[in-house]
Amino acid sequence: MPKGFLIDQDGVIYVENRMIPGADKFVEMLQKENIPFTFMTNNSQRSPLDAVRKLEKLGIHVEEKNIYTSAMATAHFMGQQFPNGTAYVLGEGGLISSLHEHGFTLVQNDPDFVVVGEGINFTLEMVRKAIDFILGGSKFIATNLDPSPRKPGWNNLGIASIVAMIEAATGKVAFTVGKPSPVMMRQARKHIGLATEEVTVIGDTLATDIQGGVQVGYNTILTLSGMSKKEDLNDFPFKPDMVVNSIADIKLPLPWWK
C-alpha cells in the first residue's frame, strides 16, 4: 500500500526566508524513495510556481505538482458548486489564476461569489462593495482564516481580520475552504492520489494542520519548529500521533506504516 505526506511549508520547511536545517534532506529522501507528497499551504496569494521558486532559492527542488494551495482548493470547490460562475475577489496572484483555471469570470457587479484571500492592496471601497454584494445575495467565501502575525510594520492584515469586518457588516458568515477545513484536507489528499489511511500530515500548527488532519482521519506529526510549542498540547482535546523538534527528526518507515 502506498504511503504519502501532506506537508505544511512555513514553520516546517522554512521560517520566513531561512530553511529549517534538514528539510532539504527529508524532501530528497521522499523523492529518492518515490513517496508521494505535496506541500499544503493556506497562502492563496502565491501560485504553485511562486512556491516552487521560493523553495528553489532555499535549495529544495520540487515541481508545481508538489504544491497545493488554499486558492486551488477554493477554486475547485466553487467550480463544483457553481460551474462557470462569477466572482468579486479581494485577493491577488494565485487566487485569481486558480479561479480563471476553474472557469470563473471576475466581475465588478452582481457576482455569484465574493471571495476573500491574501492581499496587500485592499481598500475600504473594495470592502464596501463586497459588503453590498453579500447583502444583495452573493455567496461569501474565504480561502482561509489565518490571522495577522501581529508584528509592527506587517503589511498584511490577515484574512481573519478582513473577513471579521465583512461578517460584522453583513451578518453573514464566510464559508472557509483552507486548513483546517475538511474541504482542503480531502482535496489535497486527492491531489496526490492517496486514500485516507495512507496519508500523514506534517505541520507546525495544532489549530490548522493537526486539527485538519485529525478531523478527516489522517495520521499527524507536529513539528516544534514553528507556531505550536509542546506546552500548547494541553490546550487541545486532540493530540498528534507524533511530536518532533523538526522535520529532520522524522525517520522512515513511520510506526503506523504497515
Show the DSSP H helices in the chain as ranges.
23-32, 48-57, 70-81, 94-101, 124-135, 159-170, 182-191, 211-216
Q: How many CB atoms sit inside 10 A of residue 49's CB?
A: 13
Enumerate the active-site residues: 8, 10
> HEC states along 79-147?
HHHCCCCEEEEECCCHHHHHHHHCCCEECCCCCCEEEECCCCCCCHHHHHHHHHHHHCCCEEEECCCCC
- Note the maximum CA span of the chain: 55
Q: Which residue has the cell 484574512?
A: 159
Give the separation between CA 100 and CA 75, rounded to whole angstroms. Answer: 8
